[in-house]
């Protein structure tokens, strides 16, 4: 795909090439899931508008799961599809009220750290990331704005004043959270929280070989080899943010961040497969 137009606007943007096999496959999977969801909604007696809304939500959710998992593990393409399958099971058990915006924002910040683009952020990218930190600060998931601040400090290709941008982001995030009355005491609930924390710990242990294994995948723009340590840093940052959100928000985060937990499990399973399969 020709990235020339995107290069002039943004270094962070990563267009989906519809002719690349896995991109085409996830598009088909999303449509199929949306179709199944539509039939299910009708079978439950939903009105046309409600059924279409539910089908669209499921199709978009599946795509966001894939997108997020690809940022979590940009080396193995198929781990994202395992994450999609896990997410469908988890949504069937815990419901479909997922927090799409917070997860999409986390994926953006992960991309800053893992270096999959390979080019320094443009001024437009920095502005967008700072503004997004302020917007997410208005929600229950305002701590993701703090994650964004850390991500900017991790940026290995930065040509902007990182300390200044970090101070601006954290100030804007906290101010927005304060204005929206989001600065509340932690409220972890239930045994699911312990399960999530356990899974996170397992993930961190399994992810460690990422920095040591040979990586053949390259960055989208510059075609340089991906940096294993940078990918590991992004994974650790995402997992740490998820655990903190689970502790801080409690049950709503555990259910709302199904995409995050499903992506973690998907990446874990595929990395195990890659570790044990014959060379």
pLDDT in tens, 108-125: 899 999 888 778 888 899
pLDDT above 60: residue 2: no
In-domain check, residue 158 = yes
Q: Are residues 218 and 151 in the same domain?
A: no
Measured CA to CA, the distance from residue 243 to residue 198 in angstroms comes to: 10
Question: Considering its fold, how many domains does the chain have in total?
Answer: 3
Q: Are residues 170 and 115 in the same domain?
A: yes
In-domain check, residue 63 = yes
273 in Cβ contact with 85 (< 8 Å): no
Which pLDDT band holds residue 212 (cuts at 50, 70, 90)? low
User: Is 277 exposed, middle or buried, given 0-12, 13-18 or 19+ CB atoms closer than 10 A?
Assistant: exposed
Q: Are residues 37 and 80 in the same domain?
A: yes
Which pLDDT band holds residue 185 (cuts at 50, 70, 90)? low
Q: Are residues 53 and 75 in the same domain?
A: yes
Measured CA to CA, the distance from residue 145 to residue 139 in angstroms comes to: 10
Q: Are residues 93 and 105 in the same domain?
A: no
Query: What local confidence, expressed as pLDDT, does residue 223 receive?
Result: 65
Residue 278 zone, left/alpha/beta (φ > 0; ψ -120 to 50; rest): beta
Q: Give kind and range of the element (H or E) at residue 162.
A: helix 162-179
How far is the CA of 202 from the CAs of 25, 217, 264, in angstroms? 29, 25, 10
68 in Cβ contact with 107 (< 8 Å): yes
Of 144, 179, 214, the residue at which a domain comes to its end is 179
In-domain check, residue 199 = yes
13 in Cβ contact with 4 (< 8 Å): no
pLDDT above 50: residue 211: no
Query: What local confidence, expressed as pLDDT, does residue 220 receive?
Result: 61
Average pLDDT over residues 57-61: 90
129-176 confidence digits (pLDDT tens)? 999 999 999 988 999 999 999 999 988 888 889 999 999 999 999 999
Average pLDDT over residues 217-231: 70
Mean pLDDT check: name the lowest of 62-71, 127-136, 217-226, 238-247.
217-226
pLDDT above 60: residue 210: no
- The answer to whether the Cα torsion of 108, 112, 118, 120 is positive or negative is positive
Of 135, 153, 179, the residue at which a domain comes to its end is 179
Of 74, 98, 122, the residue at which a domain comes to its end is 98
Query: What local confidence, expressed as pLDDT, does residue 77 receive?
Result: 86
In-domain check, residue 55 = yes
Q: In whole numbers, what is the pLDDT of the chain averaged over residues? A: 81
Q: Which domain holds residue 111?
A: 101-179
Question: Could you tell me which residue, 218 or 53, shows the higher pLDDT?
Answer: 53
Q: Are residues 82 and 109 in the same domain?
A: no
In-domain check, residue 4 = no
Residue 119 zone, left/alpha/beta (φ > 0; ψ -120 to 50; rest): beta
**Residue position matching structure tokens 């990918």:** 231
Q: Are residues 163 and 234 in the same domain?
A: no
Spatial CA neighbour of 76 closest among 85, 86, 66? 66
In-domain check, residue 1 = no
In-domain check, residue 8 = no
Which pLDDT band holds residue 216 (cuts at 50, 70, 90)? low
Spatial CA neighbour of 271 closest among 237, 232, 243? 232
Specify the 3-state DSSP secondary structure of 225.
strand
Query: What local confidence, expressed as pLDDT, does residue 191 receive?
Result: 47
Query: What local confidence, expressed as pLDDT, does residue 221 receive?
Result: 61
Cα-to-chain-centroid distance, residue 20: 21
183 in Cβ contact with 233 (< 8 Å): no
Q: Are residues 88 and 149 in the same domain?
A: no
Query: What local confidence, expressed as pLDDT, does residue 219 receive?
Result: 61
Q: Are residues 63 and 132 in the same domain?
A: no
Q: Are residues 255 and 194 in the same domain?
A: yes
7-44 confidence digits (pLDDT tens)? 677 777 766 777 788 889 999 999 999 999 999 989 88
75-119 confidence digits (pLDDT tens)? 888 889 999 998 888 887 776 678 888 888 999 899 999 888 778
Q: Are residues 196 and 157 in the same domain?
A: no
In-domain check, residue 262 = yes
């Amino acid at each position: 795909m020709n990235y020339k137009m995107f290069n002039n606007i943004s270094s962070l943007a990563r267009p989906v090439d519809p002719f690349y096999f896995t991109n085409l496959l996830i598009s088909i999977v999303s449509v199929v899931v949306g179709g199944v969801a539509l039939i299910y909604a009708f079978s439950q007696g939903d009105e046309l508008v409600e059924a279409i809304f539910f089908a669209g939500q499921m199709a978009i959710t599946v795509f966001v799961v894939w997108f997020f998992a690809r940022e979590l593990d940009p080396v193995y393409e198929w781990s994202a599809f395992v994450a999609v399958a896990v997410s469908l099971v988890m949504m069937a058990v815990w419901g479909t009220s997922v927090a799409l915006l917070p997860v999409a924002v986390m994926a953006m910040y992960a991309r800053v750290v893992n270096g999959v683009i390979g080019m320094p952020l443009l001024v437009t990218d920095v502005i967008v990331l700072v503004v997004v930190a302020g917007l997410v600060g208005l929600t229950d998931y305002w701590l993701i704005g703090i994650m964004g601040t850390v991500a900017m400090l991790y940026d290995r290709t930065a040509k902007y004043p990182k300390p200044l941008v970090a101070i601006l982001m954290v100030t804007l995030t906290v101010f927005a959270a304060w204005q929206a009355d989001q600065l509340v005491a932690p409220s972890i609930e239930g045994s699911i929280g312990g399960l999530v924390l356990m899974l996170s710990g397992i993930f961190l242990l399994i992810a460690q070989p990422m920095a040591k294994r040979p990586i053949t995948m390259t960055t989208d723009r510059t075609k340089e080899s991906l940096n294993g340590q940078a990918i590991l840093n992004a994974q650790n940052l995402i997992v740490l943010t998820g655990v903190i959100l689970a502790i801080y928000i409690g049950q709503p985060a555990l259910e709302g961040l199904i995409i995050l937990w499903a992506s973690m499990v998907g990446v874990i399973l595929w990395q195990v497969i890659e570790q044990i399969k014959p060379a």
